[in-house]
A = this chain, B = another copy of it.
Amino acid sequence: MFTPALLLNVAKLEANGARMRKAVASRGLDFRPHFKTAKCIEALPFILDPANPRLTVSTLAEAEAGLGAGIRDILYAVGVAPNKIRAIGDLLARGANLAVLVDCLDAVRALCGAFSGANHRPRVMIEIDTDGHRAGLAPDAPDLLALAGALDGLDLAGVMTHAGESYLGPDPEGARAYAEREAQGASEAARRLRAAGHAVPIVSVGSSPTATFPGGTHDVTEMRAGVYALGDLFMANLGVVAPSDIALSCLVTVIGHQIGRNWILTDGGWTALSQDRSTANQAVDWNYGRVCDEDGNQFENLVVVKANQEHGILSTRDGTPVPDLPWGSRLRILPNHACAMADQHRVFHALRPEGVEVWRRVEGWAPTGVDT
């Protein structure tokens, strides 16, 4: 195989998908997996709930791919912008039952102006901020009722929050506290809206940590999660997946050595691995990725210590001598962050018992046919 190459262990993807579906179903919640990690139509059957297929997307290109695979119920979970409105209209006209996200009056007014008299209208979700991580209105924000009240001719689909701070962990108990907070906050926002006379059919929460270590359900109806399906070192450090559950890796080849520096050089730099360093602040720092042999067996201490554009430099975490890996040896690098490593590649090489399949990933941001 030409390296670097992105490898996806389909059996692990399938097991991770099934485990999360079962966990969410056991709590009586709908499941809306996030497409942003896999971004691949062939991976969809392994993550969707077949009885109730709903999808979360981070780009309208992902929405188009999901629609092409027959998924109509799609949440575009990034705050809407003016230049997205035409593409949203196109996807609606092609049959998508699309929900879009807002947290400000300007966005509501623009959506109403574009769609309130249209044949195909997006449903609208209001973004709630429960942990100060990113976007959204606080559950007790006065603007919340004003936003819902301004939805002239468009249906409120519900509220959603993403407990991004749950990535700070540092452990299952930390995640559980964030989960409780996001469920409480989203539910409080939903109750305020209902008290003001609005139907709030969906109360959507989630992240891989809070889906794995939930708090109380409160008024939550729906769970979202994405990265759990592929898994990575960051999620393994949090306990969301076991290290052996990580389905994603990058195949690289040894191209040289610097013996005096205890280095092995490979052809997998940051264009292949990403520059993600998200384990840097966790209990176990895997630098730019943990090294496995060609079959996926993890070396105890071998990591990517430096990532240049097309060169990866391997060494040991503890200064012990690097293993004997001659020129041409092939290795797998586990990702710090599956979304980031996968984003560097156009295709997965999907490893199945019957052989390797090439699975194309969704690229870019715009659906086809949109003037980019």
A residues with a Cβ closer than 8 A to B are 1-5, 36, 58-59, 78-84, 87, 103-104, 106-107, 110, 129, 132, 134-135, 164, 253-258, 261, 265, 267, 270-272, 274-277, 308-311, 313, 326-328, 339-340, 343-347, 349, 358, 363-366, 370-372
Contact = CB atoms under 8 A, between A and B. Distances in A.
A33 to B, nearest CB: 15
Number of copies: 2
Given A2-B366, A3-B81, A309-B58, A134 B36 contact: no
Contacts of A345: 364
Contacts of A134: 265, 308, 311, 313
Contacts of A59: 310
A106 B328 contact: yes
A2 B83 contact: yes
Given A135-B258, A135-B265, A255-B135, A4 B365 contact: yes
A83 B311 contact: no
Contacts of A258: 129, 135
Contact of A103 (B256, B270, B274, B344): B256
B83 A253 contact: yes
A253 B82 contact: yes
B104 A275 contact: no
A87 B328 contact: no
B78 A311 contact: yes
A267 B100 CA distance: 14
A275 B343 CA distance: 12
B365 A326 contact: no
Contact of A79 (B164, B255, B340): B255
A104 B257 contact: yes
A78 B2 contact: no
A-B pairs, top 10 by smallest CB distance, nearest first, are A106-B327, A79-B255, A81-B253, A275-B275, A2-B366, A82-B328, A58-B310, A78-B310, A2-B372, A79-B256
A81 B372 contact: no
Contacts of A254: 81
Nearest to A162: B308
A267 B81 contact: yes
A243 B340 CA distance: 29
A310 B365 CA distance: 10
Contacts of A365: 2-4, 272
Contacts of A80: 255
Given A59-B310, A135-B258, 14 more contacts: A2-B365, A3-B83, A78-B255, A78-B311, A79-B256, A79-B267, A82-B328, A106-B326, A135-B255, A135-B256, A135-B265, A135-B311, A271-B343, A274-B275
Nearest to A267: B81
Contacts of A164: 308
A36 B269 CA distance: 13
